[in-house]
Amino acid sequence: MRSVTDGIQVTARSADKQRMSSQKQITVYKMAARETSASDAEIVLPGRGLQYEGRISYLTTEGCLIDTKCRLEPGTVVEVWMRTEGMPLRVLANLVERRDQGVEFHFHAMTNQKMDQIEILRGELAEEAARIDVSRRA
């Protein structure tokens, strides 16, 4: 019998397939959880399979600046993949400019729901920045 609860996998086995009583063995494994950050982002070239990982350093409903090693040319149409409240958010964008501090993107027109998600993500980014600032002072 297996179940996954709160990041812990519990496996119970009975050697004799009898009722699970005092003979049962329970092994607990800590699942390998990938550390994620609100600022994590991926730049995806649709139809080509190219992906570049990066971190959001600036975000508005108009566009964003992402710290990445992306070597695409200005004008390239990409999807910017982000996460907010644990849910994926994908936005179509044009690469505007490569800078020393990252790559600037301008978002295409989007639904009000996606704009709301971006505003929520902006709040998550601000909270994360505040937590990092507090931990650096400690």
Do 88 and 23 share a structural domain? no
> What's the whole-number mean pLDDT along residues 118-137?
89
Instruction: Determine which helix (DSSP H) or strand (DSSP E) holds 121, and give its type and residue range.
Output: helix 112-137
pLDDT per residue as tens digits for the range 46-69: 888 899 999 999 999 999 999 998
Do 133 and 67 share a structural domain? yes
Count of domains forming the chain:
2
pLDDT per residue as tens digits for the range 78-114: 999 999 888 999 999 999 999 887 999 999 999 999 9
pLDDT for 36: 74
Do 29 and 44 share a structural domain? no
Do 62 and 19 share a structural domain? no
Which of left, alpha, beta for 7 (phi over 0: left; psi -120 to 50: alpha)? Answer: left
Do 79 and 17 share a structural domain? no
Range of the domain at 106: 40-137
Do 62 and 24 share a structural domain? no
Instruction: Determine which helix (DSSP H) or strand (DSSP E) holds 3, and give its type and residue range.
Output: strand 2-5
pLDDT value at 130 more than 70: yes
Exposed, middle or buried, 71 (CB in 10 Å: 0-12/13-18/19+)?
exposed
Do 55 and 77 share a structural domain? yes
pTM of the predicted protein model: 0.70
